[in-house]
């Protein structure tokens, strides 16, 4: 099938044969297919979608466009990971990986940088002095085998076709395509050589999926790809209509992750880590009761915190951060509070605005070359349903630059909606989905 025939077939709503999809992805990778044909195909997919068989072939072709992660020393062990679609204050990976590793599973976690208003796991980890999140394949394998997990960035050899296709989507208006989003995410995750994968699909004002139907469609699409490629996959649809936990910002979120590993974290952060951890352990064959008991013991015994300490040491960071985060993590010198302008009940957040405010302080990138200030951040002092009086503090801001703080404060002041009526709290987990859903 010529490339033009493939484009025409998809334009007209027909399924593309597997060998034609494989040839297309190979041509994109090699550069033999021109950009104008690649963009035409992506736009056809944007409007016509892909069937499950096509998506599995497309994802597998992207995965096979480069190297995959091999962990021969762990061939007989269960390897599992979690992927979040991104949110504000989402530091779950930093807590969840050591919790699950302390329960005997292995987590080879490839993570990313910040995107838009959402923070990136790699950026957060780099707030720990000395931390190396760009591991070689040998370093990555050694860390997973020795500690139980590793968290590192995507190398240039891992799924290179996705890099090219994503860059093309970014400039052709096809980023919002759910099949293309799902294939991009799953190609990178399945390159880790996983036995099972749990998806945390965020829903709400701080998420990329704003509504439950959108989130449900994305989750089901990713589950179908994972299951079609032999990886047990399930998803939790979780709330992102308010920041997760109390802290937003890089060092700020590492601090909260350590608090949670000590058993002292905010209720919502702790509950979400336990829910996702139980799901990961259940996919590995444990009962819900066994999973819950194992995770609780991992925290109460200190084994989860010790796994985090060993992970930091293995990746070059200062392991004292596990015991003295305030002394080791960077912090900007100035603080201010954003206060309520009137009495009322917190009824809603513009959650994305909170993320943008952290970026304005210096905790994000406007361009790829920007340097992040790890020490700035925001502490969220209220939750939806809380009753406040005029002057009650809503946020505490840690900042370095007065002008940036003023801009961030304006965003934060407008991000909270106060109501005169009582407001019910929101569920943290809306629903669970698997291949049978």
Active site residues: 83, 162, 169, 184, 188
Neighbours of 171 (CB within 10 A): 10
Phi, psi of 98 (to 5 degrees): -65, -35
Cα distance between residue 301 and residue 278, in whole Å = 18
CA-CA-CA-CA dihedral for 281, 285, 288, 292, to nearest 10: -40
Neighbours of 327 (CB within 10 A): 9
Helices 35-48, 160-170: crossing angle, 10 deg rounding: 80
Cα distance between residue 434 and residue 172, in whole Å = 32
Going by C-alpha positions, the residue among 45, 50, 300 that lies closest to residue 168 is 45
Cα distance between residue 25 and residue 183, in whole Å = 12
Cα distance between residue 90 and residue 108, in whole Å = 19
Sheet of 344-349: strand order equals: 387-388, 344-349, 416-419
Cα distance between residue 78 and residue 93, in whole Å = 18
Going by C-alpha positions, the residue among 187, 158, 162 that lies closest to residue 175 is 162
Cα distance between residue 422 and residue 347, in whole Å = 8
Neighbours of 334 (CB within 10 A): 12
Phi, psi of 170 (to 5 degrees): -65, -30
Is residue 3 within 8 A of residue 36, CB to CB? The reply is: no
Phi, psi of 322 (to 5 degrees): -65, -25
């Amino acid at each position: 099938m010529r490339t033009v025939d493939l484009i025409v077939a998809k334009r007209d709503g027909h399924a593309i044969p597997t060998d034609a999809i494989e040839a297309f992805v190979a041509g994109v990778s090699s550069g033999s297919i021109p950009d104008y044909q690649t963009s035409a195909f992506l736009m056809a997919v944007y409007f016509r979608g892909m069937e499950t068989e096509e998506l599995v072939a497309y994802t597998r072709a992207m995965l096979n466009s480069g190297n995959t992660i091999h962990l021969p020393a762990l061939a007989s062990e269960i390897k599992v990971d979690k992927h979040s679609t991104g949110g504000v204050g989402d530091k779950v990976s930093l807590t969840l990986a050591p919790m699950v590793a302390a329960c005997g599973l292995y987590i080879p976690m490839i993570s990313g940088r910040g995107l838009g208003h959402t923070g990136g796991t790699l950026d957060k980890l780099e707030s720990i002095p000395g931390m190396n999140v760009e591991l070689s394949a040998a370093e990555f394998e050694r860390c997973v085998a020795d500690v139980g997990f590793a968290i590192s960035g995507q190398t240039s050899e891992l799924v290179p076709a996705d890099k090219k296709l994503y860059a093309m989507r970014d400039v052709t208006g096809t980023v919002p395509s759910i099949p293309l989003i799902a294939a991009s995410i799953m190609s990178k995750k399945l390159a880790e050589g996983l036995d099972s994968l749990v998806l945390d699909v965020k829903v709400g004002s701080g998420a990329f999926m704003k509504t439950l139907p959108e989130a449900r469609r994305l989750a089901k699409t990713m589950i179908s790809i994972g299951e079609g490629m032999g990886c047990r996959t399930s998803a939790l649809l979780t709330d992102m209509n308010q920041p997760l936990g109390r802290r937003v910002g890089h060092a700020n979120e590492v601090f909260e992750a350590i608090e949670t590993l000590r058993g002292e974290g905010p209720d919502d952060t702790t509950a979400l880590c336990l829910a996702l951890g139980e799901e990961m352990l259940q996919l590995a064959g444990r009962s819900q009761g066994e999973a819950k008991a194992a995770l609780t013991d991992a925290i109460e015994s200190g084994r989860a915190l010790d796994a985090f300490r060993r992970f930091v040491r293995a990746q070059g960071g200062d392991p004292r951060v596990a015991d003295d985060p305030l002394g080791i993590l960077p912090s900007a010198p100035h603080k201010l509070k954003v206060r309520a302008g009137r009495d009322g009940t917190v009824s809603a957040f513009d959650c994305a605005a909170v993320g943008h405010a952290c970026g304005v302080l210096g905790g994000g990138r406007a361009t790829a070359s920007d340097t992040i200030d790890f020490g700035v951040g925001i502490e969220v002092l209220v939750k939806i349903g809380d009753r406040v009086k005029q002057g009650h503090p809503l946020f505490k801001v840690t900042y370095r630059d007065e002008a940036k703080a003023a801009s961030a404060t304006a965003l934060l002041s407008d991000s909270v909606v106060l109501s005169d009526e009582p407001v019910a709290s929101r569920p943290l987990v809306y629903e669970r989905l698997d291949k049978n859903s």
